[in-house]
Structure 1
Amino acid sequence: MSDESIPSQDETEIHQLDEDTVARIAAGEVVERPASAVKELVENSLDADASSVDVTVEDGGTELIRVADDGHGMTEADLRAAVREHTTSKIDGLEDLESGVATLGFRGEALHTIGSVSRLTIRSRPRDADGAGTELVYEGGEVTSVEPTGCPAGTIVEVDDLFYNTPARRKFLKTTATEFAHVNRVVTRYALANPDVAVSLTHDGREVFATTGQGDLQAAVLSVYGREVASAMIPVEADGDELPPGPLESVSGLVSHPETNRSSRDYLATYVNGRAVTADAVREGIMGAYGTQLGSDRYPFVTLFLEAPGGAVDVNVHPRKREVRFDDDDAVRRQVDAAVESALLEHGLLRSRAPRGRSAPGEAQVEPGGDRGSGTGTPDYESTTLEHSTGAATPARNSDNNERDPAPPAADDGTDDAPSPADPEPASTDTEASSSEADASTERTSRSTADTSESERSSATTTEPSTDRDHRTDAETTAGSTATAADSSPSAARDDESQADRDATANADRTFRAATEQRTLTGEAATGEETAFESLPPLRVLGQLHDTYLVCETPDGLVLIDQHAADERVNYERLQDAFADDPTAQALAEPVELELTAAEAEAFTHYREALSRLGFYADRVDDRTVAVTTVPAVLEKTLDPDRLRDVLTSFVEGDREAGAETVDALADAFLGDLACYPSITGNTSLTEGSVIDLLEALDGCENPYACPHGRPVIVRFDETEIEERFERDYPGHGE
């Protein structure tokens, strides 16, 4: 290598960026959209001890943002310093950051970064100052003028033409309705967090909401969500010994009745030490408290305040300060769950858990059966033991591992055939069936034992020994037996029990049990014959896995089909066909009035055309109320008028995620959501006939390989992959 190709020690391609480029990069982290600027400015107003904060935006905040407060105010020297990078009056150094930041802002970046991507004007006068205030104009990162001006005590910040000098960022902003939805969400959060501050929001000259500032949280909820929601809120108050061990010192606020809910998480307003934040542990704790009282896609209205020592929570996670990190997420989840659940129980909105100890009534308890002679001590997962217990019963658990709604005591049918705890393999009785059915809804998430499989699948399959082992599936092997009407008599039960004992003795030394055969509801053996399709590959149905996936053989391997995603795709394309021309609409006998939240009311203004495109016709009664006169009728079902709220949410969130701006695109996004509701769910046992019907309908779809939300419908495992997993190409192990 020649000396000429070697750079000298003074030469380098690494260089420092100019101040303007650095400012634009920093602005991109802090000011993502108009709502980001609103958030920073409102936080500054609250930190300035304002008793009133007025927010005005135009065109969703893209043309104008104006935040006026009556806080401490600033002098000319304060203003000049405030727009410099990394200047703040809220912390002095690292010690303040590590001990827990008491103010909402602390980075010293807001005014500098907002001014870097907009035309910023600040007018301010200290509360205790006489005479004129000061006006500072800051444009594109440069102070262009500073002069005296007449203004009230406090601070007024105006942000004009946001992102005028960063066209790429401005290009990727969403519709006006969606950008305003973000602004509304931010202002609402701080209005609810500070009921002692009068907060107002105005959009395009129309007041969206205004709180009184009288310190009443219920009144603040009334202002932003409306009377219907406010009347459905109940108080949460737990601290000290009322909470499980964990970092939180208290949990307080308001949560709604389970019946008052929405399809969006936007109404989950949670705060840590007064800061509006999102945290998975907090959200999971809230939803866990509601348990099965809410559908998987429904969310309550929540305004919840968490207090924690500064050292237990890290607020310096992200430049926008929306996320926090706890030192013990699991403990926080348990504490929030306990606090919210206690409030719901107190108001009779949840069924109480079974009492503990001696006071527990006699209950039917289903447990895995004992060892069936294998000598290994391993529980037999193909049998169950039904015990009548006077002690504490083990409650059912939902998917979040929260104890919920144990099954009610089994009814006494007056027979003498109830099995005793000593019976190793009791016969199926009416009592057992009743208990299994009661537990089915909460036990489906746990499939470690076959008692769950038996209760869920007994209506669809029966099992019997078979010598056909080549095509046996796990679902077939673990499927429970269904007793016929004739077999439900006491004598038949005893005969079955005796036969089971004989079978257990005969097979005691066998590691694997005999193959089983899947059957249809009529009792006939499922043929599993190969079916030819036009779009899908030829499939030979083998059975179901976990009552959720169809297991099929193909000429070159194996496929799993998600039955919910498949049915969702089928329904979606049917809806597309139904709405291709004019949707079928059903006029209501009388208009149905719906009260909307501030966000929903604003969205209604922008999306009336899209609503009518779907068949929803509604007239505005007042600022917060609409009268629905016509609803769409789809798939032989008329939608409820209150689904209009979900449609509005779907429009806003669809645009938020995909940037859909046309009426047709918004309507199509809603059809994807609508297709989900009537679709077959997971944990649903299907007969062979319904499986074939579903596959034939899926084969007729334009795109049978993905649901309308983009999830895969079919997962394929080709023969090569299967052979590699079993290492069939290992030297010396050829066939």
Structure 2
Amino acid sequence: MSDDTTTDATDIRRLDEDTVARIAAGEVVERPASAVKELVENSLDAGADSVDVTVEDGGTELIRVADDGDGMGEADLRAAVRQHTTSKIDGLEDLESGIATLGFRGEALHTIGSVSKLTIRSRPQGDDGVGTELVYEGGDVVSVEPTGCPAGTVVEVADLFYNTPARRKFLKTTATEFAHVNRVVTRYALANPDVAVSLTHDGREVFATTGQGDLQAAVLAVYGREVASSMIPVEADGDELPVGPVESITGLVSHPETNRSSREYLATYVNGRAVSADAVREGIMGAYGTQLGGDRYPFVALFLEVPGDAVDVNVHPRKREVRFGDDDAVRRQVDSAVESALLEHGLLRSRAPRGRSAPEETRLEPGGNGGSTGRPATTDSSIEEGEATDPRGRTTGPDSATELPEPGDAGAESEPESTAPGNLGTGPESAPPSDDPTPRVEERDTVEESNADAPRGARSVEERTATDPETAPDRDDDPTGPEDDVAPGADDDRERRFSGPTEQRTLGGEAANGEGTEFETLPALRVLGQYADTYLVCEAPDGLVLVDQHAADERVNYERLREAFADDPAAQSLASPVELELTAAEAEAFESYREALARLGFHANRVDDRTVAVTTVPAVLEETLEPPRLRDVLTSFVEGDREAGAETIDALADEFLGDLACHPSITGNTSLTEGSVVDLLSALDDCENPYNCPHGRPVIVRLEDGEIEDRFERDYPGHRG
């Protein structure tokens, strides 16, 4: 078709350049922090030794980024504000071979200037003449004239989104917007410890790094002494890493006990670029394993060097995400590097739970008893000299609390096993009948830890056996399972796995009758069991109901908390004030949310720029919160995804109650008795909204009879009934 084809009869039209520019700006400049990111990257690409960032009102009124980099002359300035102009790359070949600079799209100054009043003053290094000032408003060059200025570049962004009111309307509070700005500047301060980076908000210096090339000193500047002193160096490359695209991994990670309730402080970099990558984050969290709770995150500044052709940085308009050619390999490499660093400093125990040797640490020699001697032979592993492992893989030796049982020693101890998914009973007492030849799947060891914190009858096996002897297994009355070849000394273990009463019991110890329970809001439910020790499986009159036990308990706790805080929250005065050191971001948020903190029962006074003294803490659910939880409250306030204008004190307090309700709630991977399940469902039925947790997740999933029949195609001719 000819390009000259008339378009008079069509509704499709070409957008004018101003509209196109504003649409593009919306992709690149989402909020003040987006503009700060682009400008700081330009300063670093210009070879600056110092970068000073100043913002007012969270960056909505003013952003100023000043550097001592290469600087620009008049011709460079005029070209820099045009669309798709850059000095970073020449073409597609540079894009595909790997990008060494932080910026490369050629959009930053043009798009920022399209939605703000932009002023740039710059003078090239070594030029003794005057500099140049360019004013760019709403996408148009307003003026270009000589000006006196130091070598380098100063960019001022005033009245951001003044000509796009819809975008400005959806900005968050000043504290939230500044938190995003702080995150960006912090990321690049840590990535470039040889550059002196400072951040000032509303005339107050938030932090300033020295620029002396010391990463630990940079961490000290942005996070404080407490965090800096807990950081552990990570350094791995070459043969020290599993096979994968990452050539080296360096940086710092924190002691497991130094953590926060947010991912805010997971700073990860690929080839010097601050990015978010699931594979990297999952590798870090995998290395910590169970040393951190499911809702806690360490402080991290981790740098990955990856060949340019193994990572794609051109997958996001704001360049904050990357894509690897092999995510799984990257995950393994990061996990290995971080775990090795933590192990070297004695901060992690072996991956093997309860002292058992990990599979890769042992090998079985051919021999009797079905091809095994029953005694693993050690290889080049982490087992210390003088140690051995018993037939179940437990490490023994001079420092071990467990002696290696001799063959035929019937008195050898064995470890209790947790219940398999699908059983309401917990622990070995709920083992399948002895005539069931199918071995039970052993649960992970974290079940025992979860039980320790879980309320409502989620007691551990040992607790229930000790307090209720009737539920303890009577091995003399139950036959063992099928005779299999087992390692010497494992007879007790086999009995524990295949024996035990099968009758379910309620919390009161009575036999559970399995009858349905009538509710006022919820449908009548008959408890069938648990799936994966996480979901309650119930039969309803018209189908099957799955209940997320954590979400259900979270809803119950939230409504209890909300009722308790309806008037004046119960608070506990501390015998003496507890001083807390805050990070730069937390300290800045403290001023904005002090009233909200007091509304919850946290009373604190500022000692200095980074320290507060907590005098009163909330007392909730028969528990007095620890003073450090104040940091988590600040985080929940700042990170809340609230609509603009809704950040009232009551709304902030309510949002934290939702987060607070999560912690004492029954966790997943927790086995429950039928009685505790019915209690939980009864409490859920009393809730104002039993169908969603306070964070909006569903509590109940319903599968109607018709849907189940459709899935099994029971309407197929000749197959009904």
Tell me whether the two structures share a fold, i.e. TM-score over 0.5. Answer: yes
Q: Is the 8 A contact 1:519 1:525 kept in 2?
A: yes
Aligned mates of 1:665, 1:411 — CA distance in 2:
54
Alignment pair present for 1:609 and 2:595: yes
Of the candidates 26, 48, 64, which is equivalent to residue 24 of structure 2? 26
Q: CA deviation at 1:547?
A: 2.1
2:422 is aligned with 1:431? no
Which residues of 2 match residues 618-657 of structure 1 at below 5 A?
Answer: 618-655=604-641
CA distance in 2 between partners of 1:52 and 1:545 (Å): 57
Which letter maps to 1:34? P
Aligned to 1:207: 205
Asked whether the equivalents of residues 538 and 555 of structure 1 are also in contact (C-alpha less than 8 Å), the reply is yes
Cα displacement string for residues 40-96 of structure 1 (whole angstroms, at most 9, x for unaligned residues): 000011111111100000000000000001111110111111101111111111111
In the alignment, which residue of structure 2 is the partner of 1:557?
Answer: 543
1:461 aligns with 2:426: no
Percent of pairs with identical residues: 77
Deviation at 1:701, TM superposition (A): 0.4
The answer to whether structure 1 residue 594 and structure 2 residue 563 are counterparts is: no
Separation in structure 2 between the aligned mates of residue 656 and residue 51 of structure 1, nearest angstrom: 38
Partner secondary structure for residue 695 of structure 1: helix
The answer to whether the Cα contact below 8 Å between 1:26 and 1:113 also exists between their aligned partners in 2 is yes
CA displacement, residues 711-730 of structure 1 (integer Å, 9 cap, x when unaligned): 11111122222222232322
* Equivalent runs, 1:279-290 vs 2, <5 Å: 279-290=277-288
Contact 1:358–1:391 under 8 Å retained in 2 = no
Aligned to 2:650: 664
User: 2:512–2:675: 8 Å Cα contact kept in structure 1?
Assistant: no
**Would the aligned equivalents of 1:221 and 1:230 in 2 still touch at CA under 8 Å?**
yes
Q: Look up the match of 1:345.
A: 343
Deviation at 1:214, TM superposition (A): 0.7
1:411 paired to 2:406: no
For 2:351 and 2:538, how far apart are their aligned partners in 1?
A: 42
Amino acid at match of 1:621: V
1: CA distance, partners of 2:688 / 2:405: 58
Give me the whole-angstrom Cα distance separating, in 2, the residues matched to 1:556 and 1:501: 44
In the alignment, which residue of structure 2 is the partner of 1:727? 713
C-alpha separation in 2, matches of 1:21 and 1:521: 66
Alignment of 1:262-281 (within 5 A): 262-281=260-279
Matched, 1:218 2:216: yes
The structure-2 alpha-carbon separation of the partners of 1:120 and 1:460, relative to structure 1 and needing over 3 Å to count, comes to farther
Q: 1:702 aligns with which of 683, 688, 703?
A: 688
Gaps of 5+ in 1: 1-6, 364-368, 371-384, 396-404, 420-428, 445-449, 468-473, 503-514
* Aligned mate of 2:567, from 568, 575, 581: 581
Which letter does structure 2 place at the counterpart of 1:694? Answer: L
Which of the residues 43, 56, 59 maps onto 1:58? 56
Q: Which residue of the other structure, out of 660, 663, 668, is the alignment partner of 1:674?
A: 660
SS at match of 2:180: helix
What is the CA-CA distance between 1:607 and the residue it aligns to?
Answer: 0.3
Distance 1:213 1:416, change over 3 A: closer
SS of equivalent residue, structure 1 residue 457? coil
Report the 3-state secondary structure (helix = DSSP H, G, I; strand = E; otherwise coil) of the residue aligned with 1:108.
Answer: coil
For the pair 1:151 / 2:157, whether they are aligned, the reply is no
Q: Give 1:539's match in structure 2, choosing from 525, 528, 542.
A: 525
SS in 2 for 1:589: strand
Contact 1:137 1:143 in 2 (8 A): yes
Shift of 1:9: 7.2
Structure 1 residues 466 and 721 mapped into 2: Cα distance closer, same or farther (>3 Å)?
Answer: farther
Q: CA deviation at 1:245?
A: 1.1
Structure 1 pair 612–249 and aligned structure 2 pair: CA distance change class (3 A): same
Residue 131 of structure 2: which of 106, 130, 133 is its match? 133
Is the 2:423–2:530 Cα contact (8 Å) retained in structure 1? no
Q: Provide the rounded CA distance (Å) in 2 between the counterparts of 1:51 and 1:500.
A: 74
Amino acid at match of 1:613: R
Aligned partners of 2:58 and 2:175 also within 8 Å: yes
| Residues 118 and 140 in structure 1, CA contact (< 8 A), matched pair in contact too | yes
Query: Are the equivalent residues in 2 in contact too, given 1:236–1:253 (CA < 8 A)?
Result: yes
Bigger Cα displacement from structure 2, 492-501 vs 160-169: 492-501
* CA–CA separation in structure 2 for the residues paired with 1:589 and 1:213: 42
Structure 2-normalised TM-score? 0.84
Q: Contact 2:603–2:614 at 8 Å: present in 1 too?
A: yes
Find the aligned partners of 1:238 and 1:499 in 2 and give their Cα distance. 49
Question: 1:733 aligns to what SS in structure 2?
Answer: coil
Alignment partners' CA distance in 2, 1:528 and 1:64: 66
2:78 aligns to what SS in structure 1? helix
Q: Unpaired segments of 5 or more residues in structure 2?
A: 383-391, 442-460, 485-500
Map of 2:497 onto structure 1: none
The answer to whether structure 1 residue 172 and structure 2 residue 170 are counterparts is: yes
In 1, the alpha carbon distance for the partners of 2:393 and 2:244 equals: 27
Query: Which residue in 2 is equivalent to 1:236?
Result: 234
Cα contact 1:60–1:179 (8 A) shared by 2: yes
- Tell me if the contact between 2:602 and 2:616 (Cα under 8 Å) persists in the aligned partners: yes
CA contact (8 A) 2:551 2:693 kept: yes
Secondary structure at the counterpart of residue 236 of structure 1:
strand
CA gap 1:85/1:684 in 2 versus in 1, 3 angstroms: same
The answer as to whether partners of 1:178 and 1:655 remain within 8 angstroms in 2 is: no
Bigger Cα displacement from structure 2, 201-210 vs 654-663: 654-663
State how far apart, in whole Å, the 2-side matches of 1:215 and 1:358 are. 42
**Residue equivalent to 2:302:** 304
Partner of 2:109: 111
Contact 1:567–1:680 under 8 Å retained in 2 = yes
Query: What corresponds to 2:704 in structure 1?
Result: 718
What is aligned with 2:333?
335
- Separation in 2, partners of 1:166, 1:101: 32
C-alpha RMSD over aligned residues: 3.5
Alignment of 1:379-398 (within 5 A): 389-390=376-377
SS of residue paired to 1:137:
strand
From 539, 554, 567, the counterpart of 2:553: 567
**SS where residue 430 of structure 2 aligns?**
coil
What's the CA shift for 1:532? Answer: 1.4
Structure 1 residues 629 and 494: CA distance shift in structure 2, 3 A:
closer
User: Is the counterpart of residue 548 in structure 1 residue 530 in structure 2?
Assistant: no
| Matches of 1:487 and 1:549, distance apart in 2 | 24
Partner Cα separation in structure 2 for residue 159 and residue 12 of structure 1: 40
Q: TM-score, normalised by structure 1?
A: 0.83
Contact 1:535 1:699 in 2 (8 A): yes
Residues 1:600 and 1:19: Cα distance change in structure 2 (over 3 Å): same
Distance 1:269 1:219 in 2: 16
Counterpart AA for 1:411: T
- Report SS of the residue matched to 1:202: strand
**Separation in 2 of the partners of 1:242 and 1:415?**
38
Q: CA–CA distance in 2 between the matches of 1:593 and 1:101?
A: 46
